[in-house]
Amino acid sequence: MTEISVTQTGDAASSARPDVIVRGTGAGFPQEVESGRHRFIVDEPLDVGGTDTGATPYDLFLAALGSCTSMTIGVYARRKGIPLENISVSLWHSKIHAADCEECETRQGRIDRIEIAIDLTGPLTDEQRAKLLEIAKMCPVHRTLTSEINVRFQ
């Protein structure tokens, strides 16, 4: 169950600097995102009414998981002296019927499925390659997505 609490801007919870601020007009999909000193636009494609001026929210979601996965593999390889040259992480998001997912606990309705393909290049042994693919699941974003998440609206 998700716990939700609502407060107005200016309350105690909003006094700390947020990690991300998103601003939109309500007149359309484009959103201005501020993340520290970085600024970018999030939007939807033309075929759903957006202006296609930026990545979609799900694109960013997959980018967060993919980049964290790649970074985690790279850090491990560097620390262990594994001769990894390049990492490519490809991700797909879809909605599937829960009944079609053998390994899922949920049996009714639809669920989100994320598929990840990782390509590692370099003079790696089979053992090193297997270990790096195992380490991929240790990425903090992956662990967040596979643990209990508590989202609270302040």
Report domain extents, the chain. 1-54, 57-145
d(CA 127, CA 118): 16
How does pLDDT run across 118-153, given as a tens digit for each residue? 999 999 999 999 999 999 999 999 999 999 999 998
Which two structure tokens, joined as six digits, stand for 40? 């970018």
Average pLDDT, the chain: 89
Which two structure tokens, joined as six digits, stand for 36? 């520290």
Tell me the CA distances in angstroms from 88 to 76, 80, 150, one per residue in order: 15, 19, 31
How does pLDDT run across 82-105, given as a tens digit for each residue? 999 999 999 999 988 888 888 777
- 99: which DSSP letter? G
CATH topology of domain 57-145: GMP Synthetase; Chain A, domain 3 (3.30.300)
Q: Which of 148, 149, 147, 141 is closest to 63 using CA atoms?
A: 141
Give residue 68's pLDDT. Answer: 98
3-state secondary structure of 116: strand
Give residue 105's pLDDT. Answer: 76
Across 9-23, 45-59, 117-131, 132-146, least confident range: 9-23
What is the helix (H) or strand (E) element at residue 132, kind and residue range? Answer: helix 126-136
